[in-house]
Amino acid sequence: MEHEFIAITLKGAEKFLSKEMNQYGIRCKNGEQYCEFSTTKKRLLEFAYFSQTAERICIKLYEAERDNEENFGIPNEIARREFKPVIIGDDEKGSIRKLLEEKCNVRYSSKESIIFIVEKERVIIAEDILNYELSKRDYRVFVTPRTLNPIVATCLALMSNPCKTQTILDPFCNDGTIAIETAFLLLHRSINYYTKNIFKVPFFDFDVERFLKELDKKEVKEELKIIVSDLNSSSITYTKKNAKIAGIHKKIESFFNIKEVEERLQKERIDIALSFPKKSSKSIYVYNMIKKHLSENGFLCFALDDNFLLPEEFNCEEKKEIMQGKKKITLARFSLNNSLQGL
């Protein structure tokens, strides 16, 4: 039996969330910051267990029309429940939140979350099945000021469409989020491998533990070629520690300087440079290394801050903007002028 569900993500990441869903045979309709779809409980659990772009997984409860005064109908069975409201969409004036506080049994300390997706002419009401934000990562113990939201890091990896045989370099690894998320993606290993208990909820009326253990058998066992480095040695230390907490430190090679990376690349080329580059006078050395060692069909996928520019010899082929909180991150794919490759 199929049910109607809502998956919440970051604003701008909807395309990547639907790409993940398609891998599990789930077709969806994209909205702003969410995807709406129908599927079975078991297929939903498989998707939720492996998803790296979903923030919340919800079951759709009700859909109401919204009038010009921002009012909408709230069923009594929802209004009487004690819940914490999560509002997705435009509520800058706070009118939606005020309406809920007046008409519903709102308790911000409640463990149960009801999602209100506010659109121009309608409001979708859904319940968070897990009451857990899937964007949380237990491995993120050591972080830097330039850390990326794991969903943004995964979207960057999905934009590059990597495969396990490619050599992937993150030359500005920060705290390792991009490399770790990419490794999980290539290994087909759940980011919640060690936190399966979050899926043991009444909604899933079958043996969840046994089901997830069967899914774990799909993990890829081959070695990966993910190389990380950074201009700051403490970032390498953070990356190594976070990767060890995540249980995938043996899948990521860490180097403390460019010379070590170049020695590693003597026998092979870079297929993908995947990174969140820093603004630094020393960055030119990194870009020169990439130009020298990039394979014939190699390319760069970078997450960029506002006003950050790469050298002119890199040509932008694709761009996508994602909101990390109130901060805009641009994901961009670049190629190198053919005349400059290998120089």
* 150-340 CATH: 3.40.50.150
Q: Which residues contact 258 (CB under 8 A, 6 or more apart)?
A: 171, 229, 285, 286, 289
pLDDT per residue as tens digits for the range 86-105: 999 887 778 889 999 999 99
Q: Is the pTM of this model over 0.85?
A: yes
pLDDT per residue as tens digits for the range 58-69: 999 999 888 766
Q: Does the domain made of 3-128 have the CATH classification 3.30.2130.30? A: yes
pLDDT exceeds cutoff 50 at 342: no
DSSP string across 90-120: --TT-HHHHHHHHHSEE-TT-S-EEEEEE-S
Q: What is the pLDDT of residue 199?
A: 97
pLDDT per residue as tens digits for the range 190-240: 999 999 999 999 999 999 999 999 999 989 888 999 999 998 999 999 999
Say what the alpha-carbon torsion angle 266, 267, 272, 273 is, to the nearest 10 degrees.
-20
Q: Where are the alpha helices (DSSP H) in 188-231?
A: 208-216
Nearest to 277 by CA among 249, 301, 313, 243: 301
pLDDT per residue as tens digits for the range 128-164: 999 999 999 999 999 988 899 999 999 999 999 999 9
> For the chain, which residues make up each domain, given as ranges?
3-128, 150-340
Average pLDDT on 33-39 reads: 97
pLDDT exceeds cutoff 90 at 281: no
Q: What is the pLDDT of residue 278?
A: 84
Distance separating alpha carbons of residues 161 and 183, to the nearest angstrom: 13
Which residues pair with residue 322 across a beta bridge? 329
Integer angstrom CA distances of residue 153 from 158, 182, 313: 9, 8, 25
pLDDT band, very low/low/confident/very high, at 338 (cuts 50, 70, 90) = low
